[in-house]
Structure 1
Amino acid sequence: MELGISMFGDLHFDAATNSVQAPGERLKEIIEEIKLMDEVGLDYFGIGEHHRPDYAVPTPEIVLAAASTVTRNIKLGSAVSVVSSSDPVKLYQNFAMVDLLSGGRAELMAGRGSFIESFPLFGYDLRDYDSLFEEKLDLLLKINKEPVITWKGKHRAPLQEQMVLPRATDNHLPVWIAVGGTPSSVERAGRLGLPLMIAIIGGSPAQFQPFFELYKETYQQYGHPMDQYQVGIHVHGFYGEDSAALSEMYYPLYAAQMDRVGRSRGWPPYRRNQFDFGKTKNGALVIGDASEAIDKILYLQELFGLTRFATHMDTGAPLHRDIMKSIEIYGTKIAPKVRAALKK
């Protein structure tokens, strides 16, 4: 199982000064954090796409291109790229360039996005939410297979024998599908034979088990090879030396971010009992010391048969020094024990 980290580039909010961190500062911190992930031997990093004032990254591939120059081994992907409001030709070209810069370490994680700001920003109608994703994913996958494209759709100008360059390493860019738990999205990933990443950010992880069963059943039904079967989860997590002290530090930041998002979605205020439940075996958070994290990660791997586990580590924008410490603990104390346990 690959062990990695995902981020959205949350901007730190200083309540004392009522100010938001400068995006340029956060972007520089992210590059330092990815460099450390590589140095401590983590397998994967993913960065999300957002077009909101509380996040620093609207274009994941620019961050990944910068990270490719300071890393050697870690896979570099989006988490996610909002395919629905992107141009698949340009998206493929950008990720192919990251792939070439990194020596074949780039991945593209396609999703519909958990926010809607990109649709009006780039001139798309939300009423076309589903058809935009289906059509643009189809074109993206076609480009990934064929360098010369003839294609026609509803939402984009047609292509007639157009060459899409540059090509990714070995003429293939790994493309994952990210979902939030919609059965039709899970079924689509299985039908297409694409690796699946499920975001589990609340409730009990066990509730998501039917989605993994549906994916595997559909994947096999369509005859895709099991030696290429890949499935992962993205969960909110953070690691420290002392679990109680970590919770006291992190809960206010985490709750504030959940409330900022929740206000636009009609969620009730986030409470401490939700946070504390999330940290238990039956909850969706992986927050604590190394021992707690190891047990939780191994439990989730056994529950779902995971080939990838991604800790989403910057929810609420903890301070850079605390993120760096969390990465260090993950890479030096958690990852080796998880890997050793899975080899037994």
Structure 2
Amino acid sequence: MEIGISTFLEATPHPLTREKVNHAERLRRGVEEIVLADQVGLDVYAIGEHHRPDYAASAPELVLAAAAPLTKKIRLSSAVTVLSSNDPVRVYQAFSTVDGLSNGRAEIMAGRGSFIESFPLFGYDLNDYDELFDEKLELLLKIRASEKTNWPGSKHRRAIVNLGVYPRAVQEPLPVWIASGGNPESAVRAGTLGLPIVFAIIGGMPERFAPLVGLYKRAAEKAGHDPSKLQIASHSHGFLADTTQQAADTFYPYNKSQMDGIGRERGWPPMSRASYDASRDLRGALYVGDPEFVAEKIVNLRRQLGLTRFFLHLDVGSMPHSEVMHAIELLGTKVAPIVHKEIARLEASE
């Protein structure tokens, strides 16, 4: 069971003062967070690509590359790379470069993206949203499979005839995960290809994703893959402090401000303190509390979904950097050991 952090390098305004960190400072803080996560023994740090003023991470691979020589063990991933509006050749080259700098610790988390700003920005038609992802994922997997690429061409891309793509990754193959917000087609696609999957579980009850996990495994088995060897991860919002009450009170205004802002775009109702607190309970989607409580929730999710990796998303809503760093320290030094010990106990009793 791997435990790590996902982030979009938020640069949103403070919920009360409306002050906000500039993008350059947020990028530097991101590198500091990766270095600390490595030092406290976390397994992976992942950065999501966005093209909005409230996020600093339009090029996650560059931030990961900056952190690569400063770290030793932690895996470095996107969360996600918006593959539909990207060039698979450049995606492979960027992450194989991170792989070389980190001596084999890079990963790609490929998704279609829940925000759509990248499509007009890079000249793509939203009507091709699904078709673009399918074609570009196929090409990316071809590129990682061999040094020379042959691609017959498609509606959206001309042919590639026996051309090399360099540098080659240290890892063979370079890990590619599929990210899903709960779309059954995404689960089937990942299972059929035998690729690891990450579910974004940011609302409701996480247990409702169990049917999607079953769908994913059945698709994999039907395609000839061993379901027992599949990797399954979740990405969930949360925050850690020394006490659960402190974590809940600290995180609430930042989380509310961020989610209400997105909600205004998507038609969600404003977050209330009651709905926030309900999401923090053992069966809810928010992982907010002291280390013992958050560890209990992660173990519970492992039982429900058979996870092999858990991402705690920090920091929704541009929280104070010192408090984010403390949460990272608690996740690595307190939560992870509890989770690993409890999972070992459960497996020994099976």
Normalised to the residue count of structure 2, the TM-score between the two structures is 0.96
Residue by residue over 1:260-284, the C-alpha shift from the partner in whole angstroms, topping out at 9 and shown as x without a partner, is 1111111111111121011111210
Ranges in structure 1 where 5+ consecutive residues have no aligned partner: none
Residue aligned with 1:283, SS:
coil
Aligned residues of 2:99 and 2:171 also touching (Cα < 8 A): no
Cα distance in 1, alignment partners of residues 303 and 18 from structure 2: 44
Of 213-222 and 32-41, the range deviating more from structure 2 = 213-222
CA distance in 2, matches of 1:48, 1:196: 15
Corresponding position of 2:108? 108
Q: Shift of the alpha carbon at 1:16?
A: 5.6
Mark the CA change 1:327 to 1:84 in structure 2 (over 3 Å): closer, same or farther: same
Query: Which position in structure 2 is the counterpart of 1:343?
Result: 344
Q: Distance in 1 between matches of 2:258 and 2:15?
A: 13
**Aligned CA distance change for structure 1 residues 188 and 174 (closer, same or farther; 3 Å):** same
- In 1, the alpha carbon distance for the partners of 2:218 and 2:67 equals 37
* Alignment partners' CA distance in 1, 2:183 and 2:17: 40
Q: How far does residue 158 in structure 1 lie from its aligned partner after superposition? A: 1.7
- Cα distance in 2, alignment partners of residues 220 and 140 from structure 1: 23
**Which residue of the partner structure matches residue 225 of structure 1?**
226
Match of 1:180 in 2: 181
**CA–CA distance in 1 between the matches of 2:296 and 2:78?**
27
Greater shift, 159-168 or 98-107, is seen at 159-168
1:195 aligns with 2:196: yes
SS in 1 for 2:70: coil
| Aligned counterparts of 1:15 and 1:322: Cα–Cα separation in 2 | 16
> In the TM superposition, what is the alpha-carbon distance from 1:12 to its structure 2 partner?
4.3
Distance (whole Å) between structure 1 residues aligned to residue 340 and residue 104 of structure 2: 24
Counterpart of 2:70? Answer: 70
Alignment of 1:53-64 (within 5 A): 53-64=53-64
Q: Aligned with 1:19: secondary structure?
A: coil
Asked if structure 2 preserves the Cα contact closer than 8 Å seen for 1:12 and 1:319, the reply is: no
Tell me how far 1:228 sits from its aligned partner.
3.1
Task: Please list the CA deviations of residues 251-310 of structure 1 after superposition, one character each: whole Å capped at 9, or x if unmatched.
Answer: 011000001111111111111112101111121011000111111010000111111111
Q: What amino acid sits opposite 1:13 in the alignment?
A: P
Equivalent residues of 1:239, 1:287 under 8 A apart:
yes
Structure-2 separation of matches of 1:220 and 1:136: 24
Q: 1:12, 1:318 within 8 Å by CA — same for their partners in 2?
A: no
Deviations 1:62-109 (A, max 9, x none): 011011021100000000000000000011000000000000000000
Corresponding residue number in structure 1 for 2:348: none
The equivalent residue for 2:246 is 245
For 1:213, the equivalent position in structure 2 comes to: 214
Change (3 A) 1:87 1:16: same
Distance in 2, matches of 1:190 and 1:14, equals: 41
Corresponding residue for residue 135 of structure 1: 135
2:37 maps to a residue whose letter is M
| 1:276 paired to 2:256 | no
Write the letter of the residue equivalent to 1:249: T
The whole-number CA distance in structure 1 between the counterparts of 2:228 and 2:205 is 29
Deviations 1:188-219 (A, max 9, x none): 00000000100000011111110011111111
Q: In structure 2, list runs of 5 or more residues that go unmatched.
A: 346-350
What is the match of residue 37 of structure 2? 37
How far does residue 14 in structure 1 lie from its aligned partner after superposition? 3.3
Aligned equivalent of 2:305: 304
The alpha-carbon deviation at position 27 of structure 1 amounts to 0.8
| Structure-1-length-normalised TM-score | 0.98
1:330 aligns with 2:337: no
- Structure 1 residues 16 and 204, CA, compared in 2 at 3 Å: closer, same or farther? closer
RMSD: 1.1
Q: Which residue of 2 aligns with 1:256?
A: 257
Deviation at 1:342? 1.2
Instruction: Give, in whole Å, the separation in 1 of the partners of 2:315 and 2:77.
Output: 16
2:300 counterpart SS class: helix
Check whether the contact 2:217–2:227 (CA below 8 A) recurs between aligned residues. no
Aligned partners of 2:169 and 2:320: how far apart in 1?
35
CA contact (8 A) 2:177 2:195 kept: yes
Instruction: Determine the structure 2 residue equivalent to 1:25.
Output: 25
Distance (Å, rounded) in 2 between the aligned partners of 1:67 and 1:228: 30
How many equivalent pairs are there? 344
Q: What is the CA–CA distance in structure 2 between the aligned matches of 1:175 and 1:272, rounded to whole Å?
A: 38
Residue 186 of structure 1 contacts residue 214 of structure 1 at CA under 8 Å; is this kept in 2?
yes
- The DSSP-based 3-state class of the residue aligned with 1:197 is strand
Aligned partners of 1:220, 1:129: CA distance in 2, in Å? 28
* Corresponding residue number in structure 1 for 2:292: 291
Q: Percent identity?
A: 50
